[in-house]
Amino acid sequence: MRTGQTERLGAGPAGTAVGPALEVRDVSVSYLTKRGEVRAVEDVSFDLGRGEFLGIVGESGCGKSTLLFAIAQLLSAPAVLNGGSVVFQGVNLVDLSDEQLASFRWKKLSLVMQSAMNALNPVKTIAAQFYDTMRAHGVRSKAEITERSVEVLRMVGIDPVHLRSYPHQLSGGMRQRSMIAMALLFTPDLVIMDEPTSALDVVAQRSLMVQIKELQQRLGFAIIFVTHDMSLVSHFSDRLMVMYAGQIAELGATRSVFDAPRHPYSAGLLEAFPSIRGPKVPLTGIPGSPPDLARPPEGCRFAPRCPQVQDRCTQGQVPIYYVEDVLVRCLRAGNGVGSGD
């Protein structure tokens, strides 16, 4: 089912998708541990349109960060890529050497990590770190570097006097903003973000999300945004991927995943968020915990926690179905009627 649909996977937002910026096919990653092989990511395929904002959500251990590392070719032992391809602007990144990858990193594809305090060098000023990055990618003129540094800091709303600041002199929000500024030094086509707002307070978090969205609309880069907080991306991403136990559970337009989740896990996740508005209703969350990926269960990986589990769910692999522009890995979606009951 999946391979036949690949040409349609890149259904990004109308008007922006001129052709995919990124094609991820059958990516699988394992961690080789003493306990055996842990299959952290299995058979993930998707396309990302130019200028598209893709949100990836899931719980800890669902493989979302591992997937990001596989896309950016940053995996290191004990993680191994078991196959698949990551085609970015026509080039399969999997085949490239470190030197060849260097010409892509920062310039065309950049990363913003979860903890800016750890990602920034504590003993160097912001200006020095921007300088290093640009020098390493071949910019020689000091004046040009300074000019660009001032420009990107202004873009993210930080006063350029902070070029002289050290990371510890900035607030958490400003540190994340300067990480984003750094990621934009070369106007990349794709920015990958791994929970960039999770260390921030809710007010700073919202302000940063609004800013990321504005920059994206202005500069036109594509974003892959990983988070454990589904509600955070609800208003910002074009499409949403829900991951469970290393696999895609559901992938579709953000609005349709929120309005009519087709996978019982997505539905359960949505039900797990109390709301600050509307009537107060008792919630249950999703009882149980995710499976051990060194010994994944037979059949559907969500079956042990699924409120709608059936006998056939535990027999054999569950394929991914394509239902009204949404990819769903659930047998109920494969009944031909789409959303099941």
Partner 1 sequence: MTDATPLLHTEGLTKHFRIGGGLRRETLHAVDDVSLEIGDRAIVALAGESGSGKSTIARLLARIYRPTAGEIYFQGTPLSKLRSRSDVLRYRSDVPMVFQDPFGSINPVFRVSHAVQRSIKLHRPELSAAERAREARRVFDIVGLSPAAEVLNRYPHELSGGQRQRVGFAQALAMHPRLILADEPVSMLDVSIRIGLLNLMQQLRDEQGVSILYITHDIASARYVADRLIVMYAGQVAEQGPVEDVLAAPRHPYTQLLLSAVPDPKAELTLSSGTDRGEPPRVIDPTPGCRFRFRCPLAVTDCQSQTPKLLQLSPGHDVACLVAQSGAEMKAF
- Chain positions 162 to 181 lying near partner 1, rule: CB under 8 A, are 171-174
> Binding to partner 1 by residue 269, rule CB under 8 A?
yes
Given the complex with partner 1, which of 57 and 109 has the nearer CB atom? 57
Contact 192, 72 (CB under 8 A): yes
Considering only 103, 118, 141, 275, the residue that binds partner 1 (CB under 8 A) is 275
Selected range binding partner 1 among 14-22, 35-43, 267-275, 328-336, rule: CB under 8 A: 267-275
Contact 200, 234 (CB under 8 A): no
Instruction: Kindly compute the dihedral angle of the four CA atoms of residues 185, 188, 194, 196, in this order, to the nearest 10 degrees.
Output: 40
Instruction: Give the position of tokens 């569950």.
Output: 318
Least Cα distance to 68 among 107, 41, 101 occurs for 41
Considering only 41, 200, 241, 313, the residue that binds partner 1 (CB under 8 A) is 200
Q: How many residues bind partner 1 (CB under 8 A)?
A: 47
> Binding to partner 1 by residue 211, rule CB under 8 A?
yes
**Binding pattern for the stretch 226-265 against partner 1, x by CB under 8 A and - elsewhere:** --xxxxx-xxx---------------------x-------
Given the complex with partner 1, which of 87 and 155 has the nearer CB atom? 155
CA atoms of 252 and 269, how far apart (whole Å): 16
Q: Quote the least distance from Cβ 148 to partner 1, whole Å.
A: 23
> Binding to partner 1 by residue 205, rule CB under 8 A?
yes
**Sequence-ordered alpha helix ranges (H) in the chain:** 64-71, 98-102, 116-119, 126-136, 142-155, 172-183, 202-219, 230-233, 254-259, 264-271
Contact 142, 194 (CB under 8 A): no
Considering only 80, 139, 270, 309, the residue that binds partner 1 (CB under 8 A) is 270
What pairing do the DSSP bridges indicate for beta strands 222-227 and 53-57? parallel
Give the three-class secondary structure for 80.
strand
Given the complex with partner 1, which of 172 and 340 has the nearer CB atom? 172
Given the complex with partner 1, which of 6 and 207 has the nearer CB atom? 207
Cis ω before 78 (30° cut-off from 0): yes
Other beta carbons within 10 Å of 194: 20
Given the complex with partner 1, which of 282 and 336 has the nearer CB atom? 282
**Binding pattern for the stretch 57-86 against partner 1, x by CB under 8 A and - elsewhere:** --xx--------------------------
Considering only 4, 274, 295, 341, the residue that binds partner 1 (CB under 8 A) is 274
Given the complex with partner 1, which of 67 and 86 has the nearer CB atom? 67
CA atoms of 271 and 6, how far apart (whole Å): 31
Cis ω before 122 (30° cut-off from 0): no
CA atoms of 139 and 134, how far apart (whole Å): 5
> Binding to partner 1 by residue 202, rule CB under 8 A?
yes
Instruction: Give the position of tokens 């900035």.
Output: 170
CA atoms of 287 and 274, how far apart (whole Å): 16
Contact 78, 31 (CB under 8 A): yes
Given the complex with partner 1, which of 75 and 309 has the nearer CB atom? 309
Given the complex with partner 1, which of 17 and 208 has the nearer CB atom? 208
Q: Quote the least distance from Cβ 5 to partner 1, whole Å.
A: 27
Give the three-class secondary structure for 38.
strand
Q: Quote the least distance from Cβ 152 to partner 1, whole Å.
A: 17
Q: Which residues bind partner 1 (CB under 8 A)?
A: 59-60, 157, 171-174, 200-208, 210-211, 213-214, 228-232, 234-236, 258, 268-270, 272-278, 280, 282-287, 289
